[in-house]
Chains A and B, each alone.
Chain A
């Protein structure tokens, strides 16, 4: 922090902060009797559900890091395996639809794990009455997205449920890729002095979807950022083999990833609001709704942690790719305040950026 600034936390307050820290490290427990929408929002409630229910039952060394894809070692190769389900509403939105989202999302989970995505599966859950024309349109955009990413959909499954039991069309995709570089990535590898980079403007997808639902009577010239990141990742890894970790910023936004870095590596993260690229349309919509773009989903942006002395090289490599034209260093990894993400605000103050419990809720006034 700036020299000459005076500490503002009293001893008594510090004791409380320590007590809270200990409370936050306790084993997560789901207190709700039923699943609520918060459990699917990608924030604290989701994390608690995953750790308390799924990790508890499935615990194994491959699952435990809870990375975007699991790394499998088979004779002669390192493979990455991931899966993701897509339940977006509306199915068609400016810049994309559920089809390309389902391809790109899985391609991206593999890419940020350092793998070259190769084969995908696709499972469809369709609601009785869903227009075949829409299904054809979804499948066509999956074909185009797969071709763009250089992957093939090689197996699949189709189920139909009664009208009212699903919302039109849900898709699950799983993907396999090969890790052919000699690298090991993981958010736990972040070290003090590392730089945190984002590959482009944040929040485009989330705000586009919110507006496409038509409930807000706000119009903006905005498109989802859904895109396959494998090309961008390759450009980055070619230039900076020392990359420590990458994540694609989906549900929970960039804020959630920064928190995952801080907790997994036991480090602090200090980001600077002025440096985070956000389109004016996204900022405007978020201001109106009282939500923070840091928590809004992207579908074609990655966050990378790289050693500090390679940050400018990394940004240059990302900017050389069309999907990374607005890449920027948004913060640094610190030894101080481990487990906590701080933000220097554009106003010049500092604050915490914590995980949200669930979806960001619009404020009353």
Chain B
């Protein structure tokens, strides 16, 4: 299939694997964080780690929107959905995330009116079809999905639709990256920058990482060759002692982002003083809320939400996984008490969650391609 297959070419991958392996300095270990959950998914789904030498470790970052939703916000959403006058609408990814009293799926089985949508525009359609009900869109995601929420709000306003509102949980990526950089737990050598987020915000916002923290950043696409090439670009920067922001995904990501999308977000939403992230705690100026001008569409103002902070289950180590401190399988409950059927933590729910990706795709003996196994300092040999 055109536009996909050329980015999954095994021959090109082998050539890149050899170039990456050649850049490994003997005895040195490299740790790169892929910030975005979409990248985590690609890495596992295509078996990309088979192409990397032992010296390179990929650390999975916090960029999975479902994973970082704190339990309290989900309980708030459940509370909203339980109102008989409300139709709750949500992306499919969100349906299985456990709150303190089960997931949206469980609530749906109990008779709560929760409907899965593919786009916030579908929620708008439901609102038009049900003028006597109040339709709430469970808005989640980074700058990637925020523009579609914003555009939907603008359209609802233009149509004068009075029964559509947004329960806004949009978050922003930069403060989360900064929190990780400032965390004493982790030493990283560079970042694979998020691709979809950058189509909106561009590459400039990452410049402080290269400048102040001296870490290279390569904004990457979502096909496996994109990711492999960005790892090569990171290795090249390190070998030349550079730390810059580079754009591997230039076929989609403009350096300055998408001004139309940014304007729509700016028009309808503003930064919250602080917001809780699952595992990362409260991070200041890290999330968006509905602007006062659009208060009539702000579900948090229209309805009463409990707004109670709910602690994560004790056994859950999602926080450590989201910060990249633990590999998914190093969590105490991974794969035994916490599985995709009965997730305890959010990382086990979304296909973009590091634990779900590892459990569904990576839970096995893996073997490196010979090109990667020949890297300097790796213990290559027979299996």
Contacts and interface: CB of A to CB of B under 8 A. Distances in A.
B1 A287 contact: yes
A354 B359 contact: yes
B46 A347 contact: yes
Interface stretch (A12-20, A168-176, A179-187, A303-311): A12-20
Interface string B345-379: 00000111000000111111111111001000011
Interface stretch (B75-83, B90-98, B276-284, B286-294): B90-98
Contacts of B109: 32, 34-37
- Chain B CB count within 10 A is highest, among A20, A351, A362, for A351
B38 interface: yes
B144 A216 contact: no
B83 to A, nearest CB: 20
Interface in A1-57: 1-9, 13, 16-17, 19-20, 23, 31-38, 44-45, 48
B8 A346 contact: yes
A36 B108 contact: yes
A20 B93 CA distance: 24
A interface: dominant SS? loop
Interface residues of B, number: 74
Contacts of A356: 340
Contacts of B95: 361
A68 B51 CA distance: 40
B364 A362 contact: no
A350 B367 contact: yes
B383 A5 contact: yes
Nearest to A22: B336
Contact of B14 (A20, A336, A348): A348
A95 interface: no
Contact of B336 (A9, A23, A44, A365): A23
B360 to A, nearest CB: 5
B342 interface: yes
A36 B106 contact: yes
Interface string B55-70: 0000000000110000
Nearest to B328: A16
B341 to A, nearest CB: 5
A214 B54 CA distance: 47
Contacts of B92: 361-364
A2 B370 contact: yes
- Chain A CB count within 10 A is highest, among B4, B51, B108, B118, for B118
A352 B45 contact: no
Interface in B3-55: 4-5, 8-10, 13-14, 38, 41, 44-51, 54
A280 interface: yes
B341 A45 contact: yes
Interface stretch (A86-94, A133-141, A192-200, A337-345): A337-345
Interface string A266-289: 000000000000001001100101
Contacts of B47: 344-345, 347-351
Contacts, number: 191
B381 interface: yes
A283 B1 contact: yes
Interface residues of A, number: 56
A16 B329 contact: yes
A352 B13 contact: no
A221 interface: no
Interface string B133-169: 0000000111011000000000000000000000000
A32 B47 CA distance: 33
B277 to A, nearest CB: 16
B255 interface: no
A23 B335 contact: yes
B351 A20 contact: no
A350 B363 CA distance: 11
Contact of A365 (B48, B49, B141, B382): B141
A48 B359 CA distance: 18
Contact of A352 (B41, B116, B224, B360): B360
B8 A364 contact: no
A9 B352 CA distance: 22
Contacts of B302: none
A188 interface: no
A357 interface: yes
A36 B102 CA distance: 12
Contacts of B339: 23
Interface of A: 1-9, 13, 16-17, 19-20, 23, 31-38, 44-45, 48, 215-216, 280, 283-284, 287, 289-290, 336-337, 340, 342, 344-352, 354, 356-358, 361-365
Given A36-B105, A48-B341, A364-B141, 5 more contacts: A7-B366, A215-B122, A280-B1, A363-B350, A364-B66
Q: Across chains A and B, which 7 residue pairs bring their CB atoms closest together, nearest first? A: A349-B47, A348-B10, A5-B367, A20-B335, A361-B92, A351-B361, A347-B46
Interface of B: 1, 4-5, 8-10, 13-14, 38, 41, 44-51, 54, 65-66, 91-96, 105-106, 108-110, 116, 118, 122, 140-142, 144-145, 196, 224-225, 329-330, 334-336, 339-342, 350-352, 359-370, 373, 378-383
11 contacts: A5-B368, A7-B367, A20-B359, A31-B342, A36-B105, A36-B109, A287-B1, A347-B224, A357-B96, A364-B91, A364-B94
